[in-house]
Amino acid sequence: MPAAESPLLRAARRQPTDFTPVWLMRQAGRYLPEYRAMRERFGFLELCRNPDAAAAVTLEPVDRLGVDAAILFADILLIVEPMGVGLEFARGAGPVVRRPVRSPADVRRLVPVDPLEATPFVFDTVRIVRRALAGRVPLIGFAGAPFTVASYLIEGGASREYLETKSLMHREPAAWHELMDVLVDVTAKYLNGQIAAGAQAVQLFDSWVGALGPDDYREFVLPHSRALVRALTPGVPVIHFGTGTASLLPLMKGAGGDVIGLDWRVDLDEAWARLGSDVAVQGNLDPAALLARPEHFRVRVRAILDRAGGRPGHIFNLGHGVLPQTPVDHVIALVDMVHDMSKR
């Protein structure tokens, strides 16, 4: 089957499909014993930098789960690790930035990065995966959106309130926009490098942008996200995803993307109506639902598919990533449910 005719890529272009395609954020993650075994052998950054191992992690869920796309195994902070910010991945603690960016001088000290030279292992992984997939399903590349990557750099890691980030935005707006321009440039090169290596769609993870209100999004985020999307290779579908974004969805659409990702805090039909029929949507089962027995989350799956109404342009996914404690059998059951319930 030609890649352009795969259900996922057809859905991303709002074309009819025989069933609703499904893939899952963090489908190659800690809930899989194969991934946990790989992590016993490799540290996180070591795994990302080993193309053969990263490709194996990317490919494992395709056959194990029966999903309709592979998602590249990497991390949204790989492109900033060479910038001199002291990025570390502590086991069980997530990413830590030892030298956070909190002033105009900190922004100016960032080391210029060409991802083609700094992260060649990512593009090697893409090439290995594409060869191994042999056209069975498409490969999705990804990157962090500028706001979310900036928030990690400024906060020094994950945050609940993003006070350092918001402080820099309002206290030093010129430095904020300079930082965002740097991230737009490197992220565009990074994603276009993935596309050149073989990625057939890309997802922008703006996971933390829901911390902002609409006015701040308009002023501090939208112009940069729009510039990034416009800099990407034409013709490759872009999925634009965030969490806590119920009030931001029309603005995110304005920033760009062929598909808008929805978290579980919105009803899919109402969100799609607000976005308009000229964009596809992705989502949006609460990941915690998969902790219940399949007969319980079947009802939620049915409700989401009913809200989509069989319209072209729906890609089924969770509202965020698969939780580490999720039983593998439940994930397999979910994929089978979506395929069976959505047959046209």
Per-residue pLDDT of 126-157, as tens digits, reads: 999 999 999 999 999 999 999 999 999 999 98
Going by their DSSP bridges, the two strands 70-71 and 87-90 should be labelled as unpaired
Q: Where are the domains of the chain?
A: 3-341
CATH of 3-341 given 3.50.50.60, 3.20.20.210, 3.40.190.10, 3.30.1360.120: 3.20.20.210
Work out the pLDDT band at 94, boundaries 50, 70, 90.
confident
Q: pTM to 2 decimals?
A: 0.96
Q: Any idea which residues carry the catalytic annotation?
A: 26, 30, 39, 75, 152
Task: Report pLDDT for 218.
Answer: 98
Task: Report pLDDT for 156.
Answer: 92
Task: Report pLDDT for 157.
Answer: 86
Q: Is the predicted pLDDT of residue 1 greater than 80, yes or no?
A: no
